[in-house]
Amino acid sequence: MAKDTKKKLPQFTTPRGIFVYPKLTEPDYGTKDYPKPDGEYSLKFRLSLEDAEAFVNRKIKQGDEMVSLQSLYDAAMQDAERQFAELKVESRKKLGSVKPNDLFTVLYDQETEEPTGEVEFKFKMKASGEFKQGPKAGKKWSRKPDLFDAKGRKIGNGVNIWGGSEGKVSFATREYFVAGTAAAGLTLMLGGVQVIELVTNGSRAANSYGFGEEEGYGYDPDDYREEEAGEDKSDEGSSEGPAKGEEDF
Structural domain contains residue 113? yes
Q: What pLDDT does residue 36 have?
A: 94
Structural domain contains residue 149? yes
11 φ/ψ angles, rounded to the nearest 5 degrees: -115, 140
Structural domain contains residue 24? yes
Q: What pLDDT does residue 248 have?
A: 41
Q: Which residue type sits at 187?
A: T
The per-residue DSSP string of 29-89 comes to EE-SSSEEEEEEEEEEEEEEHHHHHHHHH--EEETTEEE-HHHHHHHHHHHHHHHHHTS-H
Report helix angle 49-57 to 69-85, nearest 10.
70
Q: What pLDDT does residue 100 have?
A: 97
| CATH code, domain carrying 118 | 2.40.50.140
Structural domain contains residue 248? no
Structural domain contains residue 119? yes
Structural domain contains residue 217? no
Q: What pLDDT does residue 245 have?
A: 40
Structural domain contains residue 238? no
Give average pLDDT by consecutive 10-residue segment, the chain, 249 residues.
60 97 95 94 98 97 90 97 97 97 97 97 96 90 95 91 96 96 97 95 66 59 52 43 39
Q: Please, are residues 100 and 118 in contact by the beta-carbon 8 Å criterion?
A: no
Task: Report in angstroms the alpha-carbon separations of 14 from 71, 170, 172.
Answer: 16, 7, 11
Q: What pLDDT does residue 206 have?
A: 65
Structural domain contains residue 145? yes
Instruction: Determine the structural domain holding residue 55 and report its residue range.
Output: 11-29+36-202
Our count of domains for the chain comes to 1
Compute how many other C-beta atoms are within 10 angstroms of the C-beta atom of residue 67. Answer: 16
Q: What pLDDT does residue 205 have?
A: 62
